[in-house]
Amino acid sequence: MARQLGFEDLPAASHHDDPDSSTEAERILNSTGRRDSNLRRVTAALRDHSGMTSVELVPFAQLDKYEIRRRLHELDVLRVARTGPTVIRNGHTRQQTWWWNG
């Protein structure tokens, strides 16, 4: 499945100006397969619950909202996910972005 979704073609998760600890965290995330596993979990959650925000996907992906947001942006690059409108929803005071199955 990873080859079908093109996970191996993703750009680096850390940025060139990030501290060394971010590069090391990315290396561990990739070498242990956690990045791939989390991408699959978010893909499955989005497939079954399209049109939700990253916060609303938490119980379905069983990851924290920050990890879900990181993986959603990567899935957007792969065209597996796409953003919808930004809204204030479910009693939150900040705007949130709806995500749709690509």
pLDDT per position as a tens digit, 60-95:
999 999 999 999 999 998 888 999 877 776 666 677
The total number of residues shown for the chain amounts to 102
Query: What is the span of the domain harbouring residue 27?
Result: 2-9+20-101
pLDDT at site 4: 53
Domain presence at residue 55: yes
Q: CA 4, CA 73: separation in Å to the nearest integer?
A: 18
Q: Which of 1-5, 20-24, 77-81 has the lowest mean pLDDT?
A: 1-5
The CATH number for 50's domain is 1.10.10.10
Task: Locate 77 and state its tokens.
Answer: 């690059």
% pLDDT > 90, the chain = 43
Mean pLDDT of 6-32: 82
Task: Locate 60 and state its tokens.
Answer: 């379905």
pLDDT at site 2: 42
Domain presence at residue 30: yes
List the 52-53 sheet strands across, edge first: 52-53, 96-101, 81-87
pTM of the model: 0.81
Place of tokens 């596993």: 37
Domain presence at residue 14: no
Mean pLDDT of 17-46: 91
Cβ proximity of 14 and 22 under 8 Å: yes
Measured CA distances, 83 to 1, 48, 77, 78, 101 (Å): 23, 16, 11, 13, 9
> pLDDT band at 101, cuts 50/70/90?
confident
